[in-house]
Structures are given as C-alpha cells and as structure tokens.
C-alpha cells in the first residue's frame, strides 16, 4: 500500500510516498480503507526537526493521526462495528501512519451522514483535543470561554464544542476571519497588542476559561483569565510551565514527560459526542483545503503558513 513518510528531518519536500506492507488490526483495533486523513500541525514541527529534542523520532516516520474510511478488518474483541461500516477515528499516537491507503484505528465512532469524507477524515484529532481541554477546564453552561486562534482546525472545533456545552465563546483571529467566526457562533476579537483590553470590553463579567490554540501570548491570556489554572494551551510553547499554564498534549506516555509534562488521558469519548452533534447540525468541520495523498508536501507547506482556515485533509 501507499503511505506518507519521511526518513530525515527537513522541509516539506522530505515527505514522500512509500510502498509499505499494509498493517493489520490487533485486539481492540480496526483497520479501514482510508478515504481521507488529516494533516496535523504538530507533525509539521516533528518533520522539520523543531521538536527533535522533545519527541524522539525513529525513521522512517509515517505521518497521520486521524482518518476516516470503510472498515475492512476487525480485531479480536471489537463488537461495535463490522466490515463495511463507515467510521472516523484516530490511530494509536505511538504508531500513527493514517496518511495511507489503509490505517489501523485505536479509537473510532460512526461517520456522521452529514459529513463528507473530507470532514470526517479531518475531524477526530481536533475533536479529541477540544474535548480533552474543555474537560480539563470544566467548561459548562453559562461559562464564558476565550479561544485563542479560533479560526484554525483545532480552534473551529473548540468553538463549536464549547457552544454545545452552553458556553459563550469569544474567538481571536485576524480580521478577515471575523465573519467566519460569527458564522460559527463566536464573538470575534483580533489578537495582538491590546488583547487584554479588547477581551475585557467584550466580557466585562470576566472570562472563565481560556483555550490557547495559537501560542505566543500566555502572559496576556493569564491576565485575561485571572488565574493560570484557567488557561490551557495546546501550542508547542515550552514557556507554559513558567507561566503556570498547563500544556495539554497526547504524545505517547514517557516520550515527553521531562520536557513538557506528562500527556493527558485521551478524550476518545468525544468522538461519539461529535457524531451526535454532527447529526443534529451543531458540529461542522471547516475544511481549509484538500490534496491528493501524493501531494502531502504541498499540504504541509500550507499548514506551515499558519493561515489555513480550518482543517487540511489528504484524499486517498
């Protein structure tokens, strides 16, 4: 089968299509014929070598964490799906390899009929991340939540998941994305200098929780929240601990504990919640762009601009 991998650190051009043996579903796993799979911004940092001192990499490194497709193999102990079912989900974080013709999923849920393959293929990672962080922040009805970097793949999903919990959401983005954020149900704000004052004007009663998807503004975000314990970041900002802010990640246990802290438990329960919300029309997965599997380097190039509105997806 075809799979995207790299065998050395470098620019997007080090990515290439390799012919590799197809994986098989182990106990508690399923294998899918992939229809679409997501590009993870975190993997662009790994591929470039930026994270080499944080996440050890064994070459060849196969990319891809979330995917959607048709079940074609079911492992021992799996009873909730069968061959031919359409699902979306995530690979084991220690294995990855979802940017391929076939992928083994460790977590999954039924693909909502309301979603295209592209939407389903790019959903699981951001749904899990959003659920994990909102759970940690205990976001619920009546809360006011600030999502920093709300127009990206993770931010757009976080906004909708917070709204589904009954929260009021303020989202930061460039001005060109403000109408887009309003369409999702968020009150938009521009990031950058003066952020604290702008947010206080929008939320005179204060902000209950801050979900940082962008990085680079932790002092302002702590000031807005009034307590670093009410701020969680998913950006690769290694100054988080110095600000008293939790950096939430799902990297394999033991890989990064001494540098950015232990991984949080994966919020895989969020996938089933997402299916329900999608079928109710309350969760959409904005797609920034789709590329054929063979154009993975171009997809990584777009991701590295940090201006993609929504998720970048590879179609198989």
What confidence tens digit (pLDDT) does each residue in 76-101 have? 999 999 999 999 999 998 899 999 99
pLDDT of residue 89: 98
DSSP string, the chain: -EEEEESS--SGGG-EEEE-PPP---TT-EEEEEEEEEPPHHHHHHHHTTTTTTS---SSEEP-SEEEEEEEEE-TT--S--TT-EEEEE--TTT---SBSEEEESEEEEPPTTS-HHHHHTTHHHHHHHHHHHHHTT--TT-EEEEETTTBHHHHHHHHHHHHTT-EEEEE--GGGHHHHHHHTPEEE--STTHHHHHHHH-TT--SEEEESS-S-HHHHHHHHSSGGGEEE-S--TTTGGGT-EE---PPTTSSHHHH-PPPPP-TTHHHHHHHHHHTT-----EEEEEEGGGHHHHHHHHTTT---BEEEEE-
All structural domains of the chain with their residue ranges: 2-123+285-315, 127-260
pLDDT digits (tens, 9 = 90+) for 270-305: 999 999 999 999 999 999 999 999 999 999 999 999
Quote the pTM value.
0.95
Please tell us whether the domain made up of 127-260 is placed in CATH 3.40.630.30.
Answer: no
Give the pLDDT confidence score for residue 153 in this predicted structure.
95
Which one of 3.40.50.1700, 1.10.10.410, 3.40.190.80, 3.90.180.10 gives the CATH number of domain 2-123+285-315?
3.90.180.10
């Amino acid at each position: 089968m075809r799979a995207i991998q790299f065998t050395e650190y470098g620019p997007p051009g080090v990515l290439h299509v390799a012919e590799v043996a197809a994986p098989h579903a182990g106990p508690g796993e399923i294998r899918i014929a992939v229809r679409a799979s997501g590009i993870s911004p975190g993997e662009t940092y790994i591929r470039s070598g930026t994270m080499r001192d944080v996440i050890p990499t064994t070459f060849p490194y196969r990319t891809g964490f979330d995917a959607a497709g048709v079940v074609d193999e079911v492992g021992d102990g799996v009873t909730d799906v069968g061959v031919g079912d359409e699902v979306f989900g995530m690979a084991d974080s220690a294995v990855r390899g979802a940017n391929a013709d076939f992928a083994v999923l460790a977590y999954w849920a039924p693909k909502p009929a309301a979603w295209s393959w592209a939407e389903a293929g790019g959903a699981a990672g951001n749904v899990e991340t959003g659920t994990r962080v909102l759970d940690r922040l205990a976001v619920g009805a009546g809360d006011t939540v600030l999502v920093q970097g709300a127009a990206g793949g993770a931010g757009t999903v976080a906004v909708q998941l917070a709204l589904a919990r009954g929260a009021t959401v303020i989202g930061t983005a460039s001005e060109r994305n403000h109408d887009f954020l309003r369409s999702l149900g968020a009150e938009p704000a521009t990031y950058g200098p003066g952020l604290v004052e702008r947010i206080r004007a929008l939320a005179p009663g204060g902000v209950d929780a801050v979900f940082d998807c962008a990085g680079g503004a932790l002092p302002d975000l702590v000031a807005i929240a009034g307590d670093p314990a009410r701020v969680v970041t998913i950006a690769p900002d290694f100054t988080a601990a110095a600000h008293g802010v939790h950096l939430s990640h799902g990297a394999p246990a033991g890989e990064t504990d001494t540098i950015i802290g232990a991984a949080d438990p994966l919020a895989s329960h969020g996938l089933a919640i997402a299916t329900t919300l999608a079928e109710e029309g309350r969760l959409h997965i904005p797609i920034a762009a789709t590329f054929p599997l063979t154009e993975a380097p171009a997809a990584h190039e777009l991701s590295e601009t940090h201006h993609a509105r929504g998720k970048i997806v590879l179609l198989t």
